[in-house]
Each structure stands twice: as C-alpha cells, then as structure tokens.
Amino acid sequence: MSNKPIIRIALTLFISILGFNSAWANEEGHGEENPGKYDPVGTVMNHISDANEFHVWEGVHVPLPCFVYAPETGWSFFSSGVFEHGHKAVDRYVINHGRVNRIADASFPMGEVHIEGVHGKKEMMLVKGKEKEVEVFYAHHDGKEYKLDKPSTLDGGMMGGGITSFYDFSITKNVFTMMLAALLLIVVFTAVRNGYRKNEGKAPSGIQSFFEPFFVFIRDEVAKPMIGQKHYERFMPFIMTLFFFILFCNLLGLMPFFPGGSNVTGNLAVTMVLAVFAFIVTNVNGNSHYWQHIFWMPGIPAWVKTILTPVEVLGLFIKPFSLMIRLFANISAGHIIILSLIGLIFVFGENGTNFGGGVVGAIVGGAFTAFMNLIELLVAFLQAFVFAMLTASYIGAAVEEGHHDEAHHA
C-alpha cells in the first residue's frame, strides 16, 4: 500500500496548523479575558474577518499601510507595525484583533503612547431599542481604561456596524489580496497574449495551452448559450474578468500562509461590489423588449400586470442580491469548516494538557481537513463559474430580442 495519501494528509495538517497560528489567543494586546485558553468561536471569526496586518506566527506579523481619517484630527498615515502588537497607541489609534480601532476619549494624548494592552469585557448596551450584552474593548494606559470605537461601516447597523469617530481607508488583508490577484491576472494574461502572438497559426504552448481550455469553456459553455451568438463577444471581457478574479481570490484564500489566507470573496463588501457591477452592466444594456417585460408585460390582462410588475421590479434587485449572498456564504462556510476541524486539535488536547486527546484531534482533524481542502478547491472553481454563468444569464435576458424584432431583422 502506498504511503502517499498518508504523507499528503500529514503535509496538509502541518500547513493548516501553520495557517492557524493565531489559535492561541494569549498574545499580549489582543484582548482576551482568559489568556492561554483556546476560544474556538473567537479564533474562527478572527480568521475569516479582515485585518490591518497578516498574522504569520505568534509575535510575527506582516504590517500593512494604514490610512485613517477622523474629522477632528484629519488624516493619519502609518504602518500597522508601529502599534508593536498592541503595546502602543498612535494618534489615539490602536490595533485590536488585527484591526485598527480608535480611542473615543479625546483626553487621551496624541502621538505615540505606550499602552498596557487592549482588553474586552461584556457590557449591557442599548442596541436598536433593546438591552443586549455586547463585547466592548478598552485600551489600558496609566491604570485607566479608554473605550475604543470600531471602524465605520456603511451597513446601516444591520451587521452590527455603523458610523463611528473615524474612517479606515487602509490596505487591509482583503485589499492586499485583491491587488495581488489583479497583479497576477495582469502578469498571467500578458504572458498568454504574448503566447498567442508568438504562436499565431500554431498549436498553443506553455501557459497559453494551460489557460486556453478555460477561455474556450467560458466562451462556449457560458457566454454563447447564455448571452447569445449575436451579443456574446462584447460581454466576454466582463464575464472573463469576473470568473478569473473570483477564481484567483478564492485560490489565494486557500493558501494557509502569507500572502494567502484572506477571506476575500467571503466578505460581503467584496461580493456586493461584484454584484453591483453585474447589476449595472445588465440593466444599462437592457433593451426595450427587456424593460417592457418588467414594467408592462404584453399579452397579459391588466389586473395581472399590477401583481406581476412589482414582482419583476423586485427581481431586478433580488438577482444581484442572490449573487452576493451565494458567493459570500459558500466561501465563508468553507473557511469556517476547515478552521473548526483544525480547532479539534486544541479542543481534544485541552489546550496542551491532554497529549492523547491532541493526537486524536490531530488524526481526526487532519484527515477531515485534507478532505475539506480538496472540496474547497472544487468550490473555488465552482463558485467562480456559477457567478459568471448567472451574470451571463442575466445579461442574456437583458439583450435578448423579442420574436417580433427577430422577424424584423430577418
């Protein structure tokens, strides 16, 4: 019997543990009430959320540029490395679980100030008119606690965010990964273009031969059937960009070590922007036949139209909303499952006190993690394909010509 499957599982487990480096939430300045105790939920949520730095290993971080703005103090520019892993505040800004937060108290001194750390505690607060227990974070300086403001978010409070005292325009993990994906796409497709020019009239070779099946598949199985023979060519660049951008971000997210590991397409803001692009391209190119079938369908009684028209109008927004939620949910779920399986090592091992439990957790978690990594690789391709295919189908419905128009052109 070959030992290759066992070796692969062991390597996958080892690499996954490397990527799971912040499972121990006992690093100073990261605000845990029980230092040294493994927090499964907190650890998973920290990994799938965005951050202003890459956590490579305990005490080892890759800093990212921070651009923050507060109305009363203006712009501040610095690297996330200046926070010294939670031991320093800069212009009232601190690092909290990898994200830049701001000290709300205006009496806190400006400039670089040493702090004892950032810690959270549960407090009862009024949220949407109801008393709710929430975790509030404080910076400790000279024996005093200073409450922190979270970054501002434009979710209207739906996801627990809202407008606070500052705005964060920093290059976060997700932004860095998107820029890296864009750079890789430029490099790869420049090489592919050069390959086509060099091998004009010849069989493809090198990187050109690797990517050509993807191009042909998207063209013949997505663009042509969904958009139609007449219109598909002008939408091919958009469909191709969607497919490869999502694919590259998904694949980078599967890398459990720097510069990968970011949950880009598992971020609602990212999937929302992609869905908004799909919405704009679809409706800007909608013809009279498309809009007629939305607002006043021909051949249908007027009283039925009063019911169908609101449904069709809602459908304009439900379609991109479903694109946004589907991609976000599937990618986030995969990350959560893999991180949870690796967490079995620490749960079974009881934070290092139970060696036997840790071995069992490593075997069980490692085997299932290897399996889930393969599933996630498939999902990375599948979700990019589904997003591109559904977008193409919406565009196809918008540019489709009615039977009367087709007869007229004939």
The pLDDT tens digits of the residues spanning 194-206 come to 988 888 878 778 8
CA distance 221 to 64: 40
* Ordered DSSP codes for 191-238: HHHHHHHHTTTS---THHHHHHHHHHHIIIIIIHHHH-TTTHHHHHHH
Helices (H), 255-348: 268-284, 288-295, 302-348
Residue 1 has a pLDDT of: 43
How many other CB atoms sit within 10 Å of the CB of residue 156? 9
**Among 271, 343, 275, 376, CA closest to 47:** 343
pLDDT in tens, 127-140: 666 777 778 899 99
The secondary structure of residue 402, as a DSSP letter, is P
For residue 395, pLDDT beyond 90: yes
Share the mean pLDDT of the chain: 81
How many other CB atoms sit within 10 Å of the CB of residue 193? 11
**What is each CA distance from 409 to 232, 402, 405, in whole angstroms?**
18, 11, 6
Residues 148/97, Cβ–Cβ less than 8 Å: no
If you search the block for the tokens 């651009």, which residue do you land on?
67
For residue 80, pLDDT beyond 60: yes
Which residues contact residue 191 at a Cβ distance below 8 angstroms, ignoring those fewer than 6 apart?
206, 207, 208
- Tell me the whole-structure pTM to 2 decimals: 0.81
Residue type for 14, please? F
For residue 328, pLDDT beyond 90: yes
Q: How confident is the model over 256-266, as a mean pLDDT?
A: 85
Domain chopping of the chain, boundaries: 65-170, 176-409
**Among 333, 294, 297, CA closest to 317:** 294
pLDDT-derived band at 270 (thresholds 50, 70, 90) equals: very high
Residue 93 has a pLDDT of: 94
Cis ω for the linkage preceding 256 (within 30 of 0): no
Secondary-structure breakdown of the chain: helix, strand, coil percentages, each rounded to the nearest 5: 55, 15, 30
Residue 408 has a pLDDT of: 42
If you search the block for the tokens 């029980």, which residue do you land on?
34
pLDDT-derived band at 160 (thresholds 50, 70, 90) equals: low
Residue 33 has a pLDDT of: 45
For residue 378, pLDDT beyond 60: yes
CA distance 224 to 396: 9
**What is each CA distance from 121 to 118, 134, 142, in whole angstroms?**
10, 8, 19
Query: Residue 160, by phi and psi: left (phi above 0), alpha (psi -120 to 50) or beta?
Result: left
More confident of the two residues 249 and 301: 249
The dihedral of CA 323, 326, 330, 331: what is its sign? positive
